[in-house]
Amino acid sequence: MTTPGVGGRATIDRIMPSVGAALGVPGFDNSLGLPESPRYVVFLVDGMGLELLREHGDAAPFLSSLKNVEDVVCGVPSTTVTSLTSLGTGVRAGAHGMVGYTCRVPATGKRLNTLKWDQPLDPTVWQPYPTVLQRLAEEGVSATSVNDAKFEGTGLTVCSQRGVPFHGVNSIYERLDVVLDVIESAPRSVTYAYESRLDHTGHSKGCTSQEWRSMLTTIDTELMELRDELPRDTTLIVTADHGMLDLPLEDRFDVDTVPRLLDDVTLLAGEARFRHVYTRDGAAEDVAERWRETLGDRAVVRTQADIEDWFGPVSPDVRGRIGDVVVAALGDFGVFSSREFGIEMKMSGFHGSITEAELRIPVLVAD
């Protein structure tokens, strides 16, 4: 059986370089075939996977009417910090090093939450690549980021959006005004904007809930208004960082109830759908085999010798951040830890793994 995954398809890191080429900037490859345009807005809706969008197309008539660049996936793991940094830098996780929601800091052995940035690490050292926005600005393009004000200066923002002006906003209406102002401020410009509410609704209520559908409709209406207000020579790209699926509450695998799985394990990280498992030296193969025997066809269990098709080429500085064993959940399965990640037990919607529902993302073009 073929293992699900990227499978040679275009990944989210190809979007911004394609925008750069479509803007006419030398040195960028328009591998996605985006239309030539002097102005671009790249708008990312967190959690709006392509399969979800198509399943609920009636709730998003504007987005459903747009042309989509087919066969684009976010990459592995299918999670926000990884995808936003891939989008921002134009390289995959094995290079930029944002390898999961949580991961190990090799120098200390401690677990870093890459959203909260709860370890004393310089994000410019942790993620050394310049952003595509920064590179475009250096070539004379007016490049900006528009995002929630609370995200200014965070580790993830520095990793994924640094090097250009950050416009912090506090409401949807302010975001619309600011995006319009900055895109109109120069004859050649690119603006990145971000929307988080759909993802939050999916995690709390589930991505098959009426609340999720209502939020999708709200965002669809806002994006239609944005397209109507943008200058006619502007191309709007709407994309996402991952899809999502709901997991049953009544059947969640808690690794803490199977002690043998934690033998020789020094740290767990990642998230329920994609676990990084760090082991004692020399124990990775034995740990992986125990996990395979226990989980069976509910997950794909790999060691570091077999991950580059998921992460891309892995640099030496990044390898120690990735689990010695990685566990990608399939179906409606997840690897939980009531002791280490209790909050996950209360969630409804999840992502992170290698299924089509989580990997496939829209790249919608409104020109």
pLDDT tens readout for residues 183-218: 999 999 999 999 999 999 999 999 999 999 999 999
CA-nearest of 355, 366, 118, 77 to 241 is: 77
**Could you identify the residue written with the tokens 């943008």?**
230
> Can you read off the two tokens belonging to residue 5?
């995954």
Q: What phi and psi, each to the nearest 5 degrees, are found at residue 40?
A: -135, 140
Cα–Cα distance, 27 to 352 (Å, whole number): 32
Q: Buried (b) or exposed (e) across 140-179, using 16+ Cβ within 10 A?
A: ebbbbbbbeeebeebbbbbbbbbbbebbbbeeeeebbebb
* Yes or no: domain 253-348 corresponds to CATH 3.40.640.10: no
pTM over 0.95: yes
* pLDDT at residue 1, as a whole number: 42
pLDDT < 70 positions in the chain: 1-4
Residues of the chain with CATH 3.30.1360.180: 253-348
CA-nearest of 51, 40, 59 to 227 is: 40
CA-nearest of 196, 190, 231, 148 to 41 is: 190
Cα–Cα distance, 340 to 116 (Å, whole number): 16
CATH class given for the domain over 10-99+111-246+354-366: alpha beta
